[in-house]
Chains A and B, each alone.
Chain A
């Protein structure tokens, strides 16, 4: 399957899951699904991945299902009682989901610890972390960033899903642009900025980062659109929270079918 079709298919899966569950967090998953495809569909031996923005769980579940880490039967139980797939990832359910996230600011310390452990053991592979831009408000994110720099964790590659929106406003208006290139470069990260919906651009940046063993931890700022692919959701804060009506769901699916050539 070409990558555009995969981007469309996984978006459709996300819409299906949210519609069946009548649940929110749709915009957050559509914002970062392309980043997750770039990391997980092209995973190499020894790579680990932490979704720090745990509220984008449907994006995580659908790509994990795509790569065979979560079975179809489990997918059908999303958001239901007695599921292994709650609205934020659960602990100790799937090997490919090493940490239960959902409270923001946990992923970078965890991914930093994994990268440090790999260095001590001289293990191959990259520790990937996907954060939201809102998460760069968290003090722990900066604590971990400084730790990663001092420990020269060039096997840590962090993606920021920079859609410019957080829980109750624009990130720039709330604590300033804490996900900006200059702030992260200032503490010692190597930073690239890419289109967060272009798989080829992200794969290129990722490969360059992984290959560059210069002793610096890496950050890829992926510029994204919240709700990407569904025009009435795009760049709208409310689609952090809202479920879809049936008419909205049908409309969204047909847009995806057209735009992604399904």
Chain B
């Protein structure tokens, strides 16, 4: 997604109210952008908190400011600046975190962001975008750059959206099925593991999928609510801890709406349960987010 993101921003570079600030990252990705933007491309150095404060100051003067770093560095190091300087003042500062979830794999836990959405999505005025595919990355970026709201964009390794999914205006790609007996909800590029498990699954025709790309989830989209009422069975898959992620949001909304549920399973990032490290795929496997485990969990519903 990173190069696609960079290419998208290059197209925006001519808009005079856009400023791009990087926290000293972008080697072999942002060089073109830097030369196109001139004095509106700023390397703020290895000083993420100041990067956000400066961005808020510039946004208060009418600019839309993109702040780019590795996801955990921008989210955790700068949290108070994000909350106090950006969110309290409802400023158009767009945090772009590369490598959300276990995206940085073998780089280790310092480089992972598996609590980012829970950390940010409850802040006032904050909009989190967690695209799963190149296509919904475009729609998320369009919305973000026109909304002028505090935003967080979680960049992962996205693939193209398969033809089996249909994009929806409420921020989702779906495979709806009126005969479904299981509602599957997922978020972010881990959707690709689900799709791999699902495309030839024996129970595929008894499921329907919702790939949701925005947080916080303040209400259940109508199609999701209808699906849950029909199937009464929910499986949620996310590369984020269970606290503050989409499963906890769905669970709250299901209860607030008194929807009767027979079964609810949350597959989510488990952290580092065996204290061992590896690729993104390895951590997904340890957390049960891999294709094989997802396939097995789907079987338990039938």
Contacts and interface: CB of A to CB of B under 8 A. Distances in A.
Interface string B84-100: 11001110000000000
Interface stretch (A19-27, A106-114, A195-203): A106-114
A45 interface: no
Contacts of A100: 84, 88-89
B39 A120 contact: yes
A109 B50 contact: yes
Interface stretch (A35-43, A72-80, A143-151, A176-184): A143-151
A99 B85 CA distance: 7
A147 B54 contact: yes
Contacts of A111: 57
Given A117-B61, A120-B40, A92 B80 contact: no
Contact of A143 (B47, B57, B80, B88): B47
B217 interface: no
Scoring A92, A144, A151 by chain B CB atoms within 10 A of each residue's CB, the highest score goes to A144
A91 B89 contact: yes
A91 B124 CA distance: 12
Interface residues of B, number: 28
A147 B44 contact: yes
Scoring A99, A101, A127, A151 by chain B CB atoms within 10 A of each residue's CB, the highest score goes to A99
Contacts of A108: 53
Contacts of B60: 98-99, 110, 113-114, 117
A156 B49 CA distance: 19
A91 B88 contact: yes
Given A116-B57, A121-B61, A103 B47 contact: no
Interface of A: 91-92, 98-101, 103, 106, 108-118, 120-121, 123, 127, 139-140, 143-144, 146-147, 151
9 contacts: A99-B60, A113-B59, A116-B42, A117-B57, A118-B61, A120-B58, A120-B63, A144-B50, A151-B42
